[in-house]
Structure 1
Amino acid sequence: MLNSIDTDAVIRDGRVAGTFPGEIHQGVAWWVAACFVVVSQTSRIAVAHDGHSITGEFHRRFCRGAINAQHFSCQLADLGEANEDQLVHAMQALGNIPGALLSTTGDGGRQTVTIRLYDAEGQPLTEDTGLAKVREMIAADRVPIPVNDQAKGRITLRRDLVETT
């Protein structure tokens, strides 16, 4: 695995999180997304981010990982900038599909990037509902790759699902 991470330190407590740069890098988002699609056995997912400049590349890589997960041909609804409530509402509106929210916090020098994964009911993924499997797949370098170009999914911008408040 190129640019390995300490999976036990980064994938825990109901989230994927680490300081950037350092504990986490943008490639982790691709890995997490591909593994999440496979663990969820889903062909549809909703994704949102907080609009932070660092989050942008993590978001782009997450989207790419999700649509390239094995044979799932995952259709990704990109909500753009949204908060957790808006994400969960959009997940329900799309037919109770899994989702992810990416965010960055911290001061100017030390940033923490967080990826929160949600099941189809809008509940955060826990150790027992798939987070442990995602961590195990990444730790074992078993990140799923597409089987062929026909299995590749698609990204659709769905900012219309995010209510402005």
Structure 2
Amino acid sequence: MLNPINTDVVIRDGRVAGTFPGEIHEGVAWWVASCFVVTIKTRQLAVAHDGHPTTAEFHRRFCRGAINANHFACQISDLGAADEAQLLRAMKDLGDTPGALLTTTEDEDRQLVTIRLYDAQGQQVADETGLAAIRDMIAADRVPIPVNDQARGRIIDRRDLAGEA
């Protein structure tokens, strides 16, 4: 695994979070997204971010990881900058679609990047509902990769959904 992380520190308490740079890097977003799609076996996902400059690359990598998860051909509804309430509303409007929210908070000279995953009912994914499986896949370097180009999903701009919430 290139740039390994301490999965027990970064993936816990119902979220993926770590200081950047240091505990977490942009590649983690790809890994988490790919593992999430495969773990919950979804073909659709709503993704939002907080608009913070650091979050931008994590968001891009998350979307790319989700569309490249094995044979799922996952369609990403990219909401752009949105808060949790807007994400949850869009997930519902998309037909109870799972989702993810990426954020960055700053505290003095450090940044904390957080990825929160939500199931189709809008509940945060916890250890017992998939987070432990994702952590184990990443720790064992078993991040899913695409099987072929036809299995690749796509990213659709759905900022219109975030604005309606």
- Residue in 2 that maps onto 1:151: 151
Deviation at 1:35, TM superposition (A): 0.1
Please, which runs of 5 or more residues in structure 2 have no aligned partner? Answer: none
More displaced 10-residue stretch of structure 1: 102-111 or 117-126: 102-111
CA distance in 1, matches of 2:49, 2:163: 14
Q: Aligned-residue CA RMSD in angstroms?
A: 1.0
Q: TM-score, length-normalised on structure 1? A: 0.98
Does residue 1:76 correspond to 2:72, yes or no?
no
Q: TM-score, length-normalised on structure 2? A: 0.98
Deviation at 1:101, TM superposition (A): 0.1
- Residue in 1 that maps onto 2:33: 33
More displaced 10-residue stretch of structure 1: 101-110 or 51-60: 101-110
Deviation at 1:107, TM superposition (A): 3.0
Deviation at 1:163, TM superposition (A): 2.6
Question: How do 1:64-103 residues align onto structure 2 when only pairs under 5 Å count?
Answer: 64-103=64-103
CA distance in 2, matches of 1:96, 1:164: 16
CA distance in 1, matches of 2:135, 2:88: 23
* Residue deviations 1:63-117 (CA, integer Å, cap 9, x gap): 0000000000000000000000000000000000100000000135200000000
CA distance in 2, matches of 1:15, 1:116: 5
- Give the letter aligned to residue 55 of structure 2: T
CA distance in 1, matches of 2:11, 2:90: 25
CA distance in 2, matches of 1:162, 1:39: 26
CA distance in 2, matches of 1:52, 1:160: 19
- Give the letter aligned to residue 145 of structure 1: I
- Residue in 2 that maps onto 1:18: 18
What percent identity do the matched residue pairs reach?
71
Which secondary structure does the structure 2 equivalent of 1:162 belong to? helix
- Give the letter aligned to residue 35 of structure 1: C
Please, which runs of 5 or more residues in structure 1 have no aligned partner? Answer: none
CA distance in 2, matches of 1:98, 1:42: 8
Which secondary structure does the structure 1 equivalent of 2:163 belong to? coil
CA distance in 2, matches of 1:18, 1:27: 13
CA distance in 2, matches of 1:128, 1:32: 16
**Runs of 4 or more above 3 Å deviation:** none
Which secondary structure does the structure 2 equivalent of 1:57 belong to? helix
- Residue in 1 that maps onto 2:57: 57
Deviation at 1:59, TM superposition (A): 0.2
- Give the letter aligned to residue 31 of structure 1: W
- Give the letter aligned to residue 147 of structure 1: V
CA distance in 1, matches of 2:78, 2:108: 27
